Amino acid sequence: MNHGRNRNKIYEPQVFDVSNVKRKYSSKAAYDISDSMTDDTVNYISVDEPEYNKASKFVKAADILVSGTVAAQETKMLETGTDKEKMPYTIYKIEVKDKYKGDCSSTIYAKRLGGKIDGRDNILSGAADINVGESYVFALKDYGNGDYGFVNTTQSTMALKKSSIYEYGGINRKDVLALADTASVRRMTADEKIYGTEKELKKASDVVVIGEVIDYSYEVIEDNLYTIWKVKADRVEKGKEKSEIIYIKTLGGRKDTLISLVENMTKIECGNSYKFYLKDYGTDYYGLTNYSESIIKLRVVTIID
């Protein structure tokens, strides 16, 4: 490893209420295809339910917000309410990819009123399309014991193949996911010493290194989430590096639905280079000398000889 100046790089700082269900069996007027055509195998269902014109209220109403792919679907007659009346429900098998709010398993089943069963097509008025093999952001209600339903029929399935700003009754996927992230963030402030100058910060550090972040992983210790940054050390300005690849552990990060951030900490991203002021605790990982001053993002200028 070259402990001196790299000649090729210059670094610069830088629950569902069935009382609201209304059923209307198809007739010539309801089906509305032609004066001579009716279809008694179609049943139209409408429900009185909330529709949200603000993403913040929509996110608050959802217990679970996830993205995932519909792997299968099945329609069954299920009991609803206390009168034991049975209604047709389509149950969707969802393979979850990302979790934005709440927690759930990697495969979940969510039910929605309607579906085709025993030769009758029960159509839920205004319901957004859900197709097997396609991916969506799902807004769900958690009724416990693995029983999930949709927040409403018109806005709770946002197709990933559509633009993130495509509107569903006045709200869009982009705003919903941004608010879901904000709602679940845990913010922390580190109790630490501020050094004020680079000279004092360097004096307090065991190791000062310049390097590129090439990967990261997460670790949960005593209910606290840590990010382990894999750094390719390019230049050491103080101390001795353990190897060309070093690991730096910082408090905070994102894993599943757990998001925690340390206030005033410079954002670290893979592919970028930084100057790190580190403490050597004699473990596999280095720690930051402090969170507010110990990470300096660098701009790398490559010189072609």
Identify whether the C-beta of residue 251 lies closer than 8 Å to the C-beta of residue 220: no
Q: What's this model's pTM, rounded to 2 decimal places?
A: 0.52
Tokens of 76: 């069954």
Range 108-119 average pLDDT? 92
Which residues are 157's β-sheet partners? 138
Cα(218)–Cα(227) distance, integer angstroms: 5
Say what the alpha-carbon torsion angle 103, 107, 112, 117 is, to the nearest 10 degrees.
Answer: -170
Q: What is the pLDDT of residues 176-227, one digit of tens each?
A: 988 876 656 677 777 889 999 999 999 999 999 999 999 999 888 777 889 9
Q: Is the pLDDT of residue 11 over 60?
A: no
Q: What is the pLDDT of residues 251-287, one digit of tens each?
A: 988 765 567 788 888 889 888 999 999 999 888 899 9
Q: What is the pLDDT of residues 56-94, one digit of tens each?
A: 899 999 999 999 999 999 999 988 766 678 889 999 999
Tokens of 61: 């109403």
C-alpha separations of 136 from 103, 184, 242, 245 in Å: 17, 20, 45, 39
Cα(31)–Cα(209) distance, integer angstroms: 72
Q: Is the pLDDT of residue 27 over 80?
A: no
Closest CA to 46 of 122, 147, 160: 122
The highest-confidence range among 11-15, 100-104, 120-124, 198-202, by mean pLDDT, is 198-202
**What letter represents residue 79's amino acid?**
E
Cα(236)–Cα(129) distance, integer angstroms: 57
242 Cβ contact partners less than 8 Å away, ≥ 6 residues apart: none
Closest CA to 139 of 130, 147, 148, 129: 148
Q: Is the pLDDT of residue 101 over 90?
A: no
DSSP letters of 55-121?
A: HHHHHHH-SEEEEEEEEEEEEEEEEETTTTEEEEEEEEEEEEEEEEES---SEEEEEEE-EEETTEE
Mean pLDDT for the chain? 82
Tokens of 14: 């830088």
Cα(7)–Cα(240) distance, integer angstroms: 21
DSSP secondary structure letter of residue 37: B
Q: What is the pLDDT of residues 152-179, one digit of tens each?
A: 999 999 999 999 889 998 899 989 988 8
